[in-house]
Amino acid sequence: MMKMPKVSRADLKTALIDFAGILVGSVILAVGMNMFMIPNMLAPGGVSGLAVVLYHLFRLPVGATIILLNIPLFITGYLVLGPRVVIQSLLGTFLFSIAIELTAPYLPAATDDLLLASVYGGLVMGVGVGLVFRYRGSTGGTGLLSLILAKARGISPGQAMLWGDLVVLAAAVFVFGSEAAMYAALALFVSVKVVDGILEGLGLAKSVIIITNNGEAINEKLLYELGRGVTWLEGHGGYTGQSREVLLCVVTRQQMAILKAIVHKIDPDAFVIIGNATEVHGEGFQKMQQG
């Protein structure tokens, strides 16, 4: 007989955390649907948007419709992503669909203003989808489709979700009219930005490359005044062929002005490159997360 693989405490803890994250994200997503999207006839793209269209046309329950429409995507996801992701997608889809039906009687429309509904609805839904993604799940629909496209094409989940949703937005034009479809597109845009922000970080850190002839002095000042370490790299000028000192450092946005003042004071001719570090793990920043 084949022995069942042992499940460690760490694996069990990770699974429970993932489940909790998917559950919370699914409930938040359901809140966005019931309070903003469904009552204002905003189809936010994808399977959930199509479910909104069918609800207003035929009064079909949104939750059940979402489950039925996801079946072809589950099959594709199993072939492309493997059984683990599909299982979590099934979990997320089931929780999302149930949450929509259970919370609907207790969540009246937050507003009948289409602009407010699209902005705040997109924000709430983006938080929900982002949490589900972050804990390695999916609520199916274009959420699952975006994971499939992200693996196949290497694009961000948020952008993949955007392209998958455009088809449903186009269909919504014929049912709800162009104005409602435009507001739904705004909600989708907000949602996409929030999803990418949750998955990739909010860019609160800055990565800095400093090319200078006074690396030692700059290094000492950064360590003393900012408490930030510096990585030394070897560099050579492509035109002159001369050796140059290249320093790599990551600081917070609040420390950026101090760093620039330090570099300018020590070496006004230094070449400085500054970019966003969307997510940083290590000493002085957040710890590396699993998964």
Share of the chain above pLDDT 70, in %: 85
Residue 97 or residue 256, greater confidence: 97
Between 28-37, 107-116, 149-158, the lowest mean confidence (pLDDT) is in 149-158
Per-residue confidence (pLDDT) for residue 198, from 0 to 100: 81
Between 108-112, 114-118, 272-276, the lowest mean confidence (pLDDT) is in 272-276
pLDDT at 93 over 50: yes
Residue 15 or residue 35, greater confidence: 35
- Segment 193-212 mean pLDDT: 80
CA 87 – CA 69 distance, rounded (Å): 16
Which domains can be identified in the chain, with CATH numbers? 11-200 (no CATH), 205-277 (3.30.70.120)
Band of the pLDDT at 107, cuts 50, 70, 90?
very high
pLDDT at 288 over 50: no
Q: pLDDT by residue (tens digit) across 140-184?
A: 777 677 777 777 766 666 666 667 677 788 888 888 888 998 999
- Segment 61-74 mean pLDDT: 89
- Segment 4-16 mean pLDDT: 75
Per-residue confidence (pLDDT) for residue 161, from 0 to 100: 65
pLDDT at 282 over 60: yes
pLDDT at 289 over 70: no
Q: What mean pLDDT value characterizes the chain?
A: 83
Share of the chain above pLDDT 90, in %: 34
Per-residue confidence (pLDDT) for residue 154, from 0 to 100: 66
pLDDT at 18 over 80: yes
CA 122 – CA 191 distance, rounded (Å): 4
Q: pLDDT by residue (tens digit) across 190-200?
A: 988 898 778 76
Half-sphere exposure of 77 (CA within 13 A, CB side): 25
Residue 245 or residue 39, greater confidence: 39
- Segment 49-71 mean pLDDT: 91
